[in-house]
Amino acid sequence: MANLYPFVLEMKTMLSNLDRWLVTAAEHAKSKKTEPDALVVGRLALDQYPLVKQVQSACDTAKFTASRLTGKEAPKHPDDEKTYEEVRARVGKVVSYLETFTEKDFEGAESRKVALPWIPGGNKAALGLDYLVSFAQPNFFFHVTHAYAILRHNGVPLGKMDYIGALPPLLDM
């Protein structure tokens, strides 16, 4: 295969899907005579993140996957969203950021050393491929799926095709 670019493109697709779930969620809230902002604090367990933080975490994981694999500086997003519209705007900012990358940016990314500054000691790193496969992807899908699950738990009418967004490009057998 060429390089790791398709895996980051899929994160952009999933964030675009997430934005559509949020639109459906607002319609659902309005149909229940409730403000869409009420969904922002929804959560599945008291000691789990609410929707807003699931979305922020999905956004940050996608953003840092792209920037770390390509050796670029990521834009700063201060996690200050409080309303439904602010949550959607955060998603939009990261989708736009991911659109600035090309396949060429990811040349050699699989063997690039990716810094993991939050690990005690502060000087640890992982190979780009290991970082993507064993850390970035599981975390990204964790948060994006929790956002979906919080909405479903609140009765938002979504189904598996809303989650996946679209089938892969189809060929004849």
**Footprint on this chain of a second copy (rule: CB under 8 A):** 1, 3-4, 6-7, 9-10, 13-14, 44-45, 48, 110, 113, 115-116, 119, 123-127, 129-131, 133-135, 137-139, 141-142, 145-146, 148-149, 152-153, 155, 160, 163-164, 166-173
CB of 153 to a second copy, least distance (A): 5
Which residue shows structure tokens 């309005």? 30
Q: Which is nearer to a second copy, 86 or 162 (CB)?
A: 162
Instruction: Give the C-alpha separation, 163 to 170, whole Å.
Output: 19
Q: Residues with Cβ < 8 Å from 62, sequence gap 6 or more?
A: 8, 11, 12, 14, 15, 94, 98, 140
Q: Which is nearer to a second copy, 73 or 166 (CB)?
A: 166
Local structure of 151: helix, strand or coil: helix
Q: Which is nearer to a second copy, 76 or 171 (CB)?
A: 171
Q: Which is nearer to a second copy, 78 or 122 (CB)?
A: 122
59: nearest Cα among 105, 11, 130: 11
CB of 85 to a second copy, least distance (A): 25
CB of 99 to a second copy, least distance (A): 17
Instruction: Give the C-alpha separation, 41 to 48, whole Å.
Output: 11
